[in-house]
Amino acid sequence: MSEAPNAPIVVLMGRSGYAREIARVYVDAFGRQNVRIIEEVPSAPTALTKFLHAHMRNRGLLSALDAIALRILMMLHSARCGHFAITPDMAVKHADDPAIADLVKRERARLVVLCICSVLSEGQISRIGVPIINVHNGIAPRYRGSGNLWALAEDNPGMIGATLHRVDAGDDADTRLSIARFDPVKEEIPFSDVDLEAFKRGAQLAVDFVRTGKRQIPPECSALPDRHYPFPGLIDWLRARRNFHRRAKRRADASIEHAWQMSFKERAADKTLTVPEKLHWSDTASVGWRDAAIADIVRQNLPPHGLVLDLGCGDARLAKQFGGSYVGCDYSESTLRLAPSGVRCVVASAGALPFCSKVFDVSLAVGLLACIEDAQSVADELLRVTRAGGTIVINTLRQFSRAELLVVATASLFSPTRLALVWAIWQRKHGVVRGGTLVGRRFSVGELRRLFPPGTEILFIAYHGAKGLVPFAREITASFRVPDPRSASKARSSTMSAEIGCM
């Protein structure tokens, strides 16, 4: 972007307080004399009506009302953020107004920066005729739409941030310029300010790009799955807020991955333990039937000459079931030393696998999610490395209902250690040592479903520990069919343009 360093830039901004705060970044960086500001001032009733109509058509009345409630809440908060007083050079009713392109040409601007405004049509992009860049609230293409709120709602804090991308008539996943990630819990950023902070960091990416052409996409974001989200509702906001504050309360504790990894390392060296006990299978009698059940699911879904990934494989005991088709992966090198000689095993983090995309026909995560903080990032990696039409099998601890926990607590009144464990499960304080035992993370069926894209086919669900019944079942085994992205509609729903300028 250095070919016309003295040419102005054009900032096309919406009316929200967030937009004003982002515009401040550009004015501070380039000087007001070098920035032309166009403010989009749509009719409020018209914008709200379009938003409601589009959301109702695609999501239904109740979802639309839920989204309207959140939109009002976010507008109120955004209004409190917009303290930057600025007089625009031009006001338009819509981002597609031809007067915008006329100003760009008249001023000989070098580029246009979008700032929480409506989506531009292909015709307007063509009329403008200079590069257009935009800051997306979230990590694209994994979280399109209101990305950061959805990442928190899915308890995927590793995907909080902003994406700078070039705007054209194509797909912005292919025109990403830079990504900024941050952890709002570690940085003690209030939940209400996460979106504003993301927009500000994204604006700084834009400043760096305009000044030097700098691009920065972290390696872990180079091959993300593509998933688009609609504008969320108040229920989604409440779930995101709950996850955020739950994570903030756990911040003082050692990370789950570290606590579990240290425990596996210590157990692997303990010669008094059996191999299942080294791997935290306290109920050693259950290992055999669990392995047999998993192997049966794999055989039903593994094509000839197919490949099986066993993520969190431990001692790779399932390798004997599949021979050369088997590849094991675990983050504990000490535990992998327990694997039979000659078995293909890789040391790696479950959230950053060293495999190419779409190479495995069946991917397993047996007991893994109990030891992981960011289950969503693991699910994303499983989706990435498993071919379309392939199978993902997850076995994990089941989250007991409140009623079940009350019954267990009543039966444990004379066992302080067991009561402490029940209380930890009630509070979902996984990873915390209670009575000398690491508490594993637990999942409901609904939570497992939400790890994968909407419409993902569930092939099989089984409950273990209560004669196959749901009440008091200790574990869940579920298998999912990996969707084929080519079968999904390429066209984005019409809610996209109505929802982009939501604040």
* Greatest mean pLDDT range, 118-122, 128-132, 418-422, 460-464: 128-132
Mean pLDDT throughout 88-94?
92
| The predicted structure's pLDDT at residue 58 | 67
Residue 2: pLDDT over 70: no
Q: Which of 194, 177, 202, 206 shows the shortest CA–CA distance to 9? A: 206
Q: How confident is the model at residue 492 (pLDDT cuts 50, 70, 90)?
A: very low
Task: Confirm or reject CATH 3.40.50.170 for domain 9-250, answering yes or no.
Answer: yes
DSSP single-letter state for residue 228 = B
Q: Given this model, what pLDDT does residue 246 score? A: 81
pLDDT at residue 376 above 60?
Answer: yes
Res 197: pLDDT: 93
> Would strands 90-92 and 35-40 be described as parallel, antiparallel, or unpaired?
parallel
E-only strand ranges, 8-71 = 9-13, 35-40
Long-range contacts of 245-251 (CB under 8 A, 24+ apart): 245/191, 246/428, 247/155, 247/157, 247/185, 248/185, 250/429, 250/431, 250/432, 251/185, 251/186
- Pairing between β-strand 345-347 and β-strand 360-366 as defined by DSSP bridges: unpaired
Residue-wise pLDDT for 16-29, tens only, equals: 888 888 999 999 99
β-strand pairing of 161-166 with 176-181: antiparallel
Q: Which amino acid does the sequence have at 478?
A: A
pLDDT band at 155 (very low <50, low <70, confident <90, very high): confident
* pLDDT category of residue 493 using cuts at 50, 70 and 90: very low
**Hunting for tokens 């834009």 — which residue is that?**
206
172-185 mean pLDDT: 82
Top pLDDT among 5 and 26 is at 26
Other CB atoms closer than 10 Å to residue 292's CB: what's the count? 10
Please answer whether residues 230 and 145 qualify as being in contact, where contact means their C-beta atoms are separated by less than 8 angstroms. yes
Give the number of other CB atoms < 10 A from CB of residue 101. Answer: 20
pLDDT confidence bin for 224, thresholds 50/70/90? confident
What average pLDDT score do residues 21-42 get? 92
Supply the mean pLDDT for the chain: 84
322-359 tens-digit pLDDT? 988 999 999 988 889 999 989 999 999 898 899 999 99
Domain 256-399+442-487, classified CATH 3.90.1150.200, yes or no: no
Residue 15 has pLDDT above 70, yes or no: yes
The answer for residues whose C-beta is within 8 angstroms of residue 304's C-beta and 6 or more apart is none
As a three-state string, the secondary structure of 184-199 is: CCCCCCCHHHHHHHHH
Same fold, 9-250 and 256-399+442-487: yes
Cβ-Cβ contacts under 8 Å for 37 (sequence gap 6 or more): 10, 11, 13, 23, 27, 86, 88, 89, 90
Name the band, by pLDDT with cuts 50, 70 and 90, for residue 395.
very high
Cβ atoms of 78 and 503 within 8 Å: the answer is yes
pLDDT band at 199 (very low <50, low <70, confident <90, very high): very high
Q: Which tokens sit at 246?
A: 């739950």
Tell me the domain boundaries of the chain: 9-250, 256-399+442-487
Q: Smallest Cα–Cα separation from 155: which of 351, 383, 350, 376?
A: 376
Summarised one tens digit per residue, pLDDT across range 239-283 is: 999 989 888 876 655 467 777 888 888 888 888 888 888 888 877
Residue 173: the pLDDT is 46
Cα–Cα distance measured from residue 203 to residue 180, given in angstroms and rounded to the nearest whole number: 10
Q: For the chain, what's the residue count? A: 503
Cβ distance 195 to 78 under 8 Å?
A: no
206, two tokens: 């834009």
Beta strands in 156-237 (DSSP E): 161-166, 176-181
195 Cβ contact partners less than 8 Å away, ≥ 6 residues apart: 18, 74, 137, 148, 149, 503
Confidence of residue 396 (pLDDT cuts 50, 70, 90): very high
Instruction: Check whether 423 has a pLDDT greater than 50.
Output: yes
In angstroms, the CA 103 to CA 50 distance is 28
pLDDT of 89 strictly over 90: yes
The distance from CA 399 to its chain's CA centroid, rounded to whole angstroms, is 21
101 pLDDT band (50/70/90 cuts)?
very high
Q: Could you say which DSSP state residue 354 is in?
A: -
* Average pLDDT over every residue of 96-120: 92
Instruction: Identify which has the larger pLDDT, 402 or 247.
Output: 402
